[in-house]
Amino acid sequence: MAADPSSTSPSVPAADGADYADTASAAYRAALQVIESVEPRVAAATRKELADQRDSLKLIASENYASPAVLLTMGTWLSDKYAEGTIGHRFYAGCQNVDTVESVAAEHARELFGAPYAYVQPHSGIDANLVAFWAILATRVEAPELANLGAKHVNDLSEADWETLRNKLGNQRLLGMSLDAGGHLTHGFRPNISGKMFHQRSYGTNPETGFLDYDAVAAAAREFKPLVLVAGYSAYPRRVNFAKMREIADEVGATLMVDMAHFAGLVAGKVFTGDEDPVPHAHVTTTTTHKSLRGPRGGMVLATEEYAPAVDKGCPMVLGGPLSHVMAAKAVALAEARQPAFGKYAQQVADNAQALADGFIKRDAGLVTGGTDNHIVLLDVTSFGLTGRQAESALLDAGIVTNRNSIPADPNGAWYTSGIRLGTPALTSRGFGADEFDRVAELIVEVLSNTQPEGSAGSVSKAKYKLTDGTADRVHAAASELLSANPLYPGLTL
Ligand code: DSN
């Protein structure tokens, strides 16, 4: 059954739908006219992006559709202000209005997540994690070592003392979830600076069930003794028990950092509560604001009182000047997420993931862990004889936007992969319900069953593929029907 769009769509609030859509339409028409007068190609690409997003089944688990209120907030002169520093303590004059928007965003974040402290300046999830890593090093390593060396500040150190401190700072251990089990690059992997600044070790999932194995995490923590235990994921289709992760961290004296970028919307919407809510259990929690939380692109760090002073030094320690227009949009998005309708949206996201998984299971498609209980479904496309890359491309031909993803012990490696990661936040924002997601599963199975790898025995391509004639057009037409019944930004005309 389709979700009630008035309770889930970010586009037009139920109370004043038509007026709101008319006002937003007028604002965008005017903005595009102004852009067009300077660089028509940008105006054209912006118009085309809306058309493309309206006409595709967006299943990228990390994407969503922000409300016009959030989007419009980003297009203002708040962008023009430099405001390095923190609220009330800036390196530039004239930051009173930036102070206001940053304070409002931080207040909403603290209230929404029940966090003692919120830092809303990070420009992205990677930046938020970098702020968190630095805050943990500063709190756990730098501050005690400065005291050992009889100094209050690094500026008080001799060159020899500084060398001692640098060796201690740069010689720390981090334990995070492995990439092929669903961890993220920023959790200590080489393509990200976290893999260069920490000695990293990974925990994986149980090879039989695909579920996180807490005993194995505890054993790895006891042996490796990390300074930082990272929990959180970008491609794991199950919930995590953060109370257990905190017990493991406490036992080995590690700081628990949770990266909730993917599921922050489910935490905000109170779908994840108790042991599944990371905020009361983690010392430091990081997130992005644009995924299931449905805000502007950006990041955020939540922290206990102990870590707050070091987190607060994020800019200029590791961040450039805050994007004031984006902090303003974070404030608007967080205000939206505090409305009861957001809770209904978040629950629908989880229910829809369940419907999508059930749709695959009844059509005999393989799923990592055999299902989902969050917003992600990880489809194992080896059951179709395909690589993730072939499946991703064939689905795109049919208007279905997904991304290929490794599965545990992936036989095709991290480039070609054997999985397709699917997420429900975006289409739920359009009003899709369980019936629509069952139909989405049917369409995906139809495409993949009609896709063959190119080549012959002994030299089968991992990239090239062939779709049975007519499949892409037939599925795209069916997808368009679903999409027109659940329009993106209904009433918004350019
Ligand atoms: N790019 C995000 C994702 O797709 O999960 C995380 O970096």
Quick one: which atom of ligand 1 is closest to the CA of 234? 5
452 strand-pairing partners: 466
289 catalytic per annotation: no
297 catalytic per annotation: yes
Choosing from 213, 259, 312, 410, the catalytic residue is: 259
Instruction: Assign 457 a pLDDT band (cuts: 50, 70, 90).
Output: confident
Contact criterion met (CB below 8 Å) for 290 and 297: yes
The pLDDT of 45-53, averaged and rounded, is: 97
Asked whether residue 6 carries a pLDDT value surpassing 50, the answer given is no
Amino acid at site 427: L
The response to whether 305 counts as a known ligand-binding position is yes
The response to whether 185 counts as a known ligand-binding position is yes
Asked whether residue 8 carries a pLDDT value surpassing 70, the answer given is no
| Centroid of ligand 1 to alpha carbon of 286 (angstroms) | 14
Task: Return the closest-CA partner of residue 373 out of 268, 237, 466, 232.
Answer: 237
Residue-range domain boundaries for the chain: 79-338, 341-485
Asked whether residue 15 carries a pLDDT value surpassing 70, the answer given is no
The response to whether 183 counts as a known ligand-binding position is yes
Class of the CATH-defined domain 79-338: alpha beta
Choosing from 186, 255, 286, 288, the catalytic residue is: 288
pLDDT value for 268: 98
Q: Cα separation of 266 and 269, whole Å?
A: 5
Q: Cα 48 from chain centroid?
A: 25
The pLDDT of 434-461, averaged and rounded, is: 96
Task: Return the closest-CA partner of residue 228 out of 358, 154, 133, 318.
Answer: 133
Over residues 117-134, the pLDDT tens digits come to: 999 999 999 999 999 999
pLDDT value for 279: 98
Q: Which residues does a 6 A CB cutoff place in the pocket of ligand 1? A: 62, 125, 184, 234
The pair of structure tokens assigned to 390 is 């072939």
* Burial of 168 (C-beta count, 10 Å sphere; 0-12/13-18/19+): middle
| Centroid of ligand 1 to alpha carbon of 222 (angstroms) | 30
The pLDDT of 422-429, averaged and rounded, is: 97
The response to whether 89 counts as a known ligand-binding position is no
Amino acid at site 7: S
Three-state SS string over 364-382 comes to CCEEHHHCCCCCEEEEEHH
Asked whether residue 14 carries a pLDDT value surpassing 50, the answer given is no
Over residues 296-320, the pLDDT tens digits come to: 999 999 999 999 999 999 999 999 9
Residue nearest to atom 3 of ligand 1 (CA): 62
Choosing from 54, 168, 201, 297, the catalytic residue is: 297
41 catalytic per annotation: no
196 catalytic per annotation: no
| Centroid of ligand 1 to alpha carbon of 62 (angstroms) | 6
Instruction: Assign 4 a pLDDT band (cuts: 50, 70, 90).
Output: very low
| Centroid of ligand 1 to alpha carbon of 370 (angstroms) | 22
| Centroid of ligand 1 to alpha carbon of 125 (angstroms) | 9
Quick one: which atom of ligand 1 is closest to the CA of 186? 7
84 catalytic per annotation: yes
Which SS3 state, helix, strand or coil, does residue 434 take? helix
Q: Cα separation of 4 and 253, whole Å?
A: 47
Amino acid at site 454: E
Instruction: Assign 198 a pLDDT band (cuts: 50, 70, 90).
Output: very high
Average pLDDT, the chain: 94
Q: The domain at 341-485 falls in which architecture?
A: Alpha-Beta Complex (3.90)
Quick one: which atom of ligand 1 is closest to the CA of 60? 4
pLDDT value for 19: 65
417 catalytic per annotation: no
Rg (CA), the chain: 23
Give CA separation, 349 vs 42, 342, 377, in Å.
Answer: 33, 10, 12
Strand 284-288 and strand 299-303: the pairing is antiparallel
Mutate to test the pocket of ligand 1, among 126, 186, 187, 234 (most ligand atoms within 8 A of CB): 234
